[in-house]
Amino acid sequence: MPERLSGILPSVLSVLLALAVCWGLIALTLAPDTAANAYLQMLWGGIGNWPSYLEGAAATVLTRPLGESGMKAALLTLTGLSVAVAFKVGLFNIGAQGQMILGALAAALVGAHLSLPAVLHVPAALLAAALAGAAWAGLAALLKLYRGVHEVISTIMLNWVAVSLVDNWLVIGPLRGVAEGGQSITGTAEIQATAALPRLLGDVSRLNLGFLLALFLAVAVWVWLQRTRSGFETRAVGLGAEAARTAGIPVARRTGLAMALAGALAGLAGAVLVLGTERRYPGTLGAPYGFDGIAIALIGNNHPLGAAVAALFFGVLRAGGTRMQLLGVHQTFPELIQGLALLFVAGRMVWLALLRRRTAATPAPANAAPPTEAPRA
Amino acid sequence: MSLADASLDIRDGELLAVVGENGAGKTSLMNVLYGLYQPDGGQLSLGGKPARFKSPRDAIARGIGMVHQHFMLVPTLTVAENVVLGREPTRRGLFDLERAVSEVAATCARFGFQLEPRARVDTLSVGSQQKVEIVKALHRGAQVLVLDEPTAVLTPQESDELAHVMRGLVAQGRTVVLISHKLREVLGVADRIAVMRRGRVVAEVRPAETTVEKLAALMVGEGHPALGMAASGRAREPSSGMGLETNTPPPGDMLAARPASRPSVDPTANTAGELLLEARGLQALADSGRPALRGVDLTVRAGEIVGIAGVDGNGQRELAEVLTGLRPLTSGEGTLLGGPLAGLTPARARERGVGHVPEDRLLRAVVKALTVEENVALGRHTRPPFARGTWIDFPGRRERTRDLLAAYDVRPPDPTAFLRSLSGGNQQKVVVARELDARPKLLVVVQPTRGLDIGAVAQVHAKLREAREQGAGVLLVSLDLEEVLKLSDRVYVFFEGRVTGHFTRPQYDERELGRRMLGAGTDHA
């Protein structure tokens, strides 16, 4: 089986299996018809209600759902990329959520308190968010490199530090915004119009520039990893740190920079959320997109473009999930689908073994070593 | 496809040796026997009855034990814990260490192994670790014991001891299957020898009826240039399997059809070369924190091969690591290619022109999950033809890799193959090709031919000599004394982190060298 196919197939099959299992669950608990209808509603809720548009409904039946999907997909892409980049250098970044919180706060502050023309204001806010996220992840990297603290432990703990620091103190304390009438509001002050990410499909749709930014970054990260010297060094460190060290690659610097990049990407997710939709740092950040990033990265096989595709898919599903409620199906069902897909994709080796058995009629490739530690042939 | 219709009989109570080149299918055949691989066709029978092993568990249950080339021991556990791992004796549901120790001691005594059951495995020498592997298999009731390249990692003394152990097991009615490249050794110990080539058993002979030369000819096929015979230039037959092998004849100079005897080099001609390395009083610690180098003085000049002889674990490895920037000095000073030895990093060593063929290939030399071309670029990935500025130069890298794979006869010659899909010998060829292609001024090579077959060994040796003739200095660390003496112009003998002897060709006295390797002549310290 070609390497590329064996990277993609387990993910695709896992998602399909998750869809099938959830279909079965709805069919069993409600009715088979409901399952079909719910999936259809989820689809129209995600990609736009094309049937009614073709019957003459206004274009907003398309742009509004697409906006929701695109917004969610952008956030999932960025946090998914964050986790995937850390994976490439051999680190498991559980801290995308905390990095995103710091990024969101930085974007909200720069957006609200600096006065700049839009051309500069948006980049400034994005940059601040990226730096804040990078710094938060950089803490974990420094702890790892100089103190040997495992990044899983430190990033999990830094998530809680971020929640306590930002949600439980700063935004309800010193940084709490004041509305025009003088009354206190939840969260930080609203960002200035110059800092808002421009909307792409009109005011009804929340699709904004963040979506394009996320897609651009997915491609950029992929190009960096595959085509540049430093990307190659990063991958080499992730796949064989000792061999990389022997080859003269600065392992610590590559590890630190990759982790900082992971943090920057998660920080940008926070910025996209604040500058694109929330317009302020809300009382609490809400949906745990940072944790979703782990699922997105794994379903995307830790490939930057794979993560983007997974994010688009689950962005559509999760935006459409709201419409499942019309049929009495809980709106978090897409999250269940995503969770199951993650569970199934964790059995990647099982999928590959099953697929190998299917192709066993043809001679097995020489390099198809069994999962057991096999010595060289 | 590594096996193509291979047939082999193993008889009760014999010592059968299986020999063949890298990739001939020896290990694959044994992995089928051990249940690691499932055959696509053909059958396996044991004691006259058909057998089908779905996993090593089945094979172990039927009395087959395997000692892999790379040991499968838990370094932080004791000998006894490693031996009983997977079938631990318990008392009231808890692990019973005392019983484990006494059981393992009994097994050791029964088969005549001298091992301390309470010793931690990471404190043992490689030879002793191998004994632990053998005891582990015997402890599980192995009647048939398969040893994969067991002497590749052993000193000559340990190899002799292993031969003794194997004969002892056969005398006690066990069956031993020995997979090896080392024909001389095999001739001395085996009852019967099976020769494999390209996935088939091409001959079965008795040691009394054959010679090293005849065996070698059977292994590589007639007229192979590695044998020093006239290169026939005849096209290799295409392989029947995946078509991984080319049918183009190898380039003429590739295997350097040198006779296997010592090279005709004037030993005095090299002493005038430029001084590349001058070290005084080098001291360094081993990973365990104990002193590994205790004051080493040595020099390497351009155009010479300097060998380091010694029993494993006497500081040779640490010396190589110091010279390549992987291990810090604790004391001493030196000049390496015009710069200080202190504060050397792997990157600086490479910049100054140090090439390195590390001992532990899979850990240090290559990244298994990268492709062959990516591994060829490793360490030189910032320079042409592998990069152009910030960007990887894909066509340049591909072209250079293709050239190297052809020049070193790496199979398959596919730059995009993942390195892990290559056999060990071919992986090593990739490493040697990469390091020599960088035109190093000083090449530090450690155990360069460990586990390689005759053809590959001859080729690596030829390439090292070629590097010397082009003016490089080569520091060769090897546990294979024969290899050190064959290639080196000068030899330092190491014992417990000190130089206990210094010999210049042609004054090689193997007896005296051996004495020094065991610590005689420590007056140097």
- ipTM of this complex: 0.84
Least confident span in B66-80, B99-113, B143-157:
B143-157
**pLDDT tens-digit map of B510-524:** 777 877 877 666 544
User: Are B302 and B451 in the same domain?
Assistant: yes
| A240 has a chain B CB within 8 A of its CB | yes
Q: Is B369 exposed, middle or buried (0-12, 13-18, 19+ CB in 10 A)?
A: middle
State the DSSP H helix or E strand holding residue A255, giving kind and residue range, or none if neither. helix A251-272
User: Are B495 and B379 in the same domain?
Assistant: no
A208: DSSP letter: B
User: Are B374 and B283 in the same domain?
Assistant: no
User: Are B123 and B175 in the same domain?
Assistant: yes
CB–CB contact A246 B365 (8 Å): yes
Average pLDDT over residues B310-332: 90
User: Helix or strand or coil: residue B281?
Assistant: strand
Residue B302: which of B471, B462, B435 has the closest Cα? Answer: B471
Q: Nearest chain A Cα to B37, which residue?
A: A370
Peptide bond into B412 cis (omega under 30): yes
Average pLDDT over residues B307-314: 85
State the DSSP H helix or E strand holding residue B470, giving kind and residue range, or none if neither. none
Q: Where are the domains of chain A?
A: 3-361
Q: Nearest chain B Cα to A3, which residue?
A: B418
User: Are B401 and B450 in the same domain?
Assistant: no
Which tokens hold the place of A349?
Answer: 């080796």
Average pLDDT over residues A5-33: 91
Which tokens hold the place of A30?
Answer: 């409600």
Beta strands B175-180 and B15-20: pairing type?
parallel
Domain end point (choices B437, B463, B495) = B437
pLDDT at B44: 80
User: Are B425 and B447 in the same domain?
Assistant: no
Distance of CA B304 to the CA centre of its chain: 23
User: Are B28 and B162 in the same domain?
Assistant: yes
Average pLDDT over residues B346-363: 91
Chain B residues whose CB is inside 8 A of the A377 CB are 2, 23, 25, 27-28, 31, 423
User: Helix or strand or coil: residue B446?
Assistant: strand
pLDDT at B521: 61
Domain end point (choices B437, B465, B488) = B437
B53: DSSP letter: -
B116: left (phi over 0), alpha (psi -120 to 50) or beta: beta
* Ramachandran angles phi, psi of B64, nearest 5°: -110, 130
Residue B295 lies in a domain: yes
Residue B81 lies in a domain: yes
| A123 has a chain B CB within 8 A of its CB | no
CB–CB contact A229 B367 (8 Å): no
User: Helix or strand or coil: residue B237?
Assistant: coil
pLDDT at A157: 96
B418: DSSP letter: B
User: Are B334 and B374 in the same domain?
Assistant: no
pLDDT at B71: 81
Q: Nearest chain B Cα to A360, which residue?
A: B40
**CA distances, A349 to each of A234, B82, B278, B376 (Å):** 25, 27, 52, 28
Report the side by side order of strands in the sheet with B291-301: B291-301, B275-285, B331-336, B339-340
* Ramachandran angles phi, psi of B477, nearest 5°: -105, 120
pLDDT at B272: 62
Radius of gyration of chain B, Cα coordinates, nearest whole angstrom: 24
**pLDDT tens-digit map of A255-274:** 999 999 999 999 999 999 99
CB–CB contact B31 A374 (8 Å): yes
Count of domains in chain B? Answer: 3
Could you write out the DSSP letters of every residue in B105-149? Answer: HHHHHHHT----TTSBGGGS-HHHHHHHHHHHHHHTT-SEEEEES
| Residue B494, beta-bridge partner list | B499
* Whether pLDDT at B335 is above 90: yes
Q: Determine what percent of chain A is predicted with pLDDT higher than 90.
A: 69
Chain A residues whose CB is inside 8 A of the B382 CB are 229
User: Are B457 and B321 in the same domain?
Assistant: yes
Residue the block writes with tokens 């260490």: B97
Structural domain including B73 reads 15-223
Average pLDDT over residues B111-117: 86
* Whether pLDDT at B233 is above 60: no
A364: DSSP letter: P
Domain end point (choices B413, B437, B461) = B437
Residue B279 lies in a domain: yes
User: Are B429 and B448 in the same domain?
Assistant: no
Q: Determine what percent of chain A is predicted with pLDDT higher than 70.
A: 93
CATH of the domain at B122: 3.40.50.300
CA angle A165, A171, A176 (to 5 degrees): 150
CATH topology of domain A3-361: ABC transporter involved in vitamin B12 uptake, BtuC (1.10.3470)
| A20 has a chain B CB within 8 A of its CB | no
Chain A residues whose CB is inside 8 A of the B57 CB are none
pLDDT at A356: 79
Question: How close are the terminal C-alpha atoms of chain B, in Å?
Answer: 54
> Measured between alpha carbons, how far is A207 from A69 in angstroms, rounded to an integer?
8
Quote the minimal CA–CA distance from A178 to chain B in Å: 48
| A220 has a chain B CB within 8 A of its CB | no
**CA distances, A304 to each of A64, A322, B358 (Å):** 27, 28, 33
Q: How confident is the model at residue B152 (pLDDT cuts 50, 70, 90)?
A: low
Chain A residues whose CB is inside 8 A of the B244 CB are 366
A182: left (phi over 0), alpha (psi -120 to 50) or beta: left
User: Are B489 and B516 in the same domain?
Assistant: yes
> Measured between alpha carbons, how far is A310 from B203 in angstroms, rounded to an integer?
55
CA angle B199, B205, B206 (to 5 degrees): 145
Closest in B70, B346, B358 to A375, CB measured: B70
State the DSSP H helix or E strand holding residue B436, giving kind and residue range, or none if neither. helix B424-437
Q: How confident is the model at residue B271 (pLDDT cuts 50, 70, 90)?
A: low
The helix-helix angle for B97-111 and B156-171 (nearest 10°) equals 90
User: Helix or strand or coil: residue B391?
Assistant: strand
Q: Residues B93, B96, B100, B102: what is their CA dihedral angle, to the nearest 10 degrees? A: -130
User: Are B285 and B397 in the same domain?
Assistant: no
B62: DSSP letter: T
A80: left (phi over 0), alpha (psi -120 to 50) or beta: alpha
| A203 has a chain B CB within 8 A of its CB | no
Residue A23: which of A13, A14, A40, A35 has the closest Cα? Answer: A35
pLDDT at B451: 73
For residue A240, give the amino acid letter. Answer: G
Residue the block writes with tokens 């015979």: B229
* Ramachandran angles phi, psi of B45, nearest 5°: -130, 150
Which tokens hold the place of A102?
Answer: 């710091």
Chain A residues whose CB is inside 8 A of the B59 CB are none
Instruction: State which of A198-202, A237-241, B161-165 shows the largest mean pLDDT.
Output: A237-241
For chain B, give percent helix, strand, coil, nearest 5: 35, 20, 40
Closest in A239, A365, A375 to B148, CB measured: A375
Q: Taking CB atoms and an 8 Å cut-off, how many pairs form between chains A and B?
A: 117
Average pLDDT over residues B118-128: 85
A244, B382 contact by CB (below 8 A)? no
* Whether pLDDT at B251 is above 80: no
CA angle B412, B418, B421 (to 5 degrees): 60
Strands (E), B341-460: 354-357, 387-388, 391-392, 442-446
Please report how many Cα atoms fall inside a 13 Å half-sphere around the Cα of residue B23, on the Cβ side. 23
Interface test with A, best of B53, B378, B388, B414 (most A CBs within 10 A): B378
Residue B249 lies in a domain: no
B21, B429 contact by CB (below 8 A)? no
Could you write out the DSSP letters of every residue in B171-224? Answer: HTT-EEEEEES-HHHHHHH-SEEEEEETTEEEEEE-GGG--HHHHHHHHH-TT-
